[in-house]
Amino acid sequence: MTRILVTNDTSPISALFSVKVQNAEQINYFNSLDYPLDIWMYATQGRDGVVLVPKDYVQQFQDELYSKGIEFVIEVENIKDSLELEDKLRADKARNRAMRPDNELLVDFDDIYNLTEVNNYLEQIAKAYPDVVTLVNGGKSFEGRDMNYLKISNSKFENASKPIIFIESLLHAREWVTLPATLYAIEKLVVNVTDQDLIDDFDWIIMPVANPDGYEFSHTSDGRFWRKNRRNGLLPNDICLGVDLNRNFDVFYGIGSSNNVCTEIYHGTSAFSEPEARIIRDILHSDDRIEMFLDLHSFGNLILYGWGTGDLPENAFALHVGGIQMATAINDVKEDWNLDYRVGNSALVLYAASGTAGDYGLKAGVPLSYTYELPGLRNSGSTILGFLVDPDFIKPSAVQTWEGIKAGAMFLRNLRRNSV
Ligand SMILES: [Zn+2]
């Protein structure tokens, strides 16, 4: 049975669709859609795909789905309404916050900080906790912004027996909900420590904004759904710009990505053409004690590992078990309405992708390298908000992700004990 909702609005709109895939053929069809559609979440077995359809393509898209007998729902008829809702929810929170006394070292987990605020916070933390926290400027982004990260250690990164866990967020600019997850990790490791063993037994590298140019742009009125970096000069008049940083790493480069600048998965002119990807590469190679790498994305409720081609690395079993333990820890504390996390090889669970940071982590010798897809929001449990962030969801999302990170650290510790 096919359920079709056809808009009778005569003015063109940008609409958010969820598409109900029934079999592998429909999944493949959806996941390989490309005309200027913006896939927000790829379809997987038993899970809808979510796609933003530009106003001029809404009719064509509906006709195509109809002809293929694929069910769909228009989640948001005009995405501008969702943007306005996000603005309003954030403004309401900001008004309340202005009435509270400031503690600059505790993050208010009810808003998404902009780049300046994040950098100020990193500076303040480093200043207040000089014995534990070192602020590092890893270099400049394409547009010249600092790529800052923290090194967190109670042994000044000098204890050779400690493994390092490296976490980054916002490699994709619009995936705002990943930022509070890394800020919360910093808070739990430095300011409000409740698990002392996590700082006694591990060193940490945390980069909250891995794509600062894109992230800054995502805070402008036209940029909220920007994913890539801001590389320009690729096409005349910059009719399209930006490189998908998560396709720019030198690992199976160019296989599961696009050479079309105008797509969301454009891989750049060559592997590591982008300074942001090079800086992350250099961190991954900076210390052979890095034994876990978590690249935080949204959305999809997934924990994924390589390779993006569908081939499995030698330690796939350990990767899978570690992924399951992280996912279980999150599933145990998440809201009932939210989907369970799934774990698996990225190509088998999702789609083939090449040049990803997660795969490059493996290639660089980090045994436990994962891509997290944090949950997307549903407004009151029904309408998909996707990348849009309801302030009430920020803290729960950060806390839940922290449970996963903790479980990952425990898994790494046990793995090392058993292999000694
Ligand atoms: Zn992403």
User: What is the predicted pLDDT for the residue at 100?
Assistant: 58
Find the length of the chain: 420
User: What is the predicted pLDDT for the residue at 116?
Assistant: 95
DSSP conformation class of 100? S
Calculate how far, in angstroms, residue 129's C-alpha sits from the geometric centre of ligand 1.
31
Those residues of the chain that have pLDDT short of 50 are 1-12
364 C-beta neighbours (distance < 10 Å), count = 22
Q: Is the dihedral of CA 408, 414, 415, 420 positive or negative?
A: positive
Q: How far out from the chain centre does Cα 233 lie?
A: 26
Calculate how far, in angstroms, residue 103's C-alpha sits from the geometric centre of ligand 1.
31
Alpha-carbon span 119 to 105, nearest angstrom: 13
Angle CA 113–374–62, to nearest 5:
105
Residue 19 near residue 70 (C-beta atoms within 8 A): yes
Alpha-carbon span 289 to 159, nearest angstrom: 10
Alpha-carbon span 102 to 127, nearest angstrom: 17
Report residue 56: phi and psi, to 5°. -75, -10
**DSSP string for 261-275:** TTSTTB--SSTT-SH
Calculate how far, in angstroms, residue 44's C-alpha sits from the geometric centre of ligand 1.
16
User: What is the predicted pLDDT for the residue at 10?
Assistant: 37
Alpha-carbon span 250 to 285, nearest angstrom: 13
Calculate how far, in angstroms, residue 171's C-alpha sits from the geometric centre of ligand 1.
7
Domains of the chain: 15-77 (3.30.70.340), 107-419 (3.40.630.10)
Query: Is 71 one of the catalytic residues?
Result: no
Calculate how far, in angstroms, residue 175's C-alpha sits from the geometric centre of ligand 1.
6
One-letter amino acid identity for 93?
A: K
User: What is the predicted pLDDT for the residue at 46?
Assistant: 84
Burial group, residue 258, by CB count within 10 angstroms (0-12, 13-18, 19+)? middle
Q: Please identify every residue whose CB atom is under 5 Å from ligand 1, which is an ion.
A: 172, 297
Closest CA to 42 of 18, 11, 66, 74: 18
Widest distance between CA atoms in the chain: 68
Task: From the candidates 86, 187, 373, 403, give the one annotated as an active-site residue.
Answer: 373
Calculate how far, in angstroms, residue 197's C-alpha sits from the geometric centre of ligand 1.
30
One-letter amino acid identity for 135?
A: L
Q: How far out from the chain centre does Cα 293 lie?
A: 13
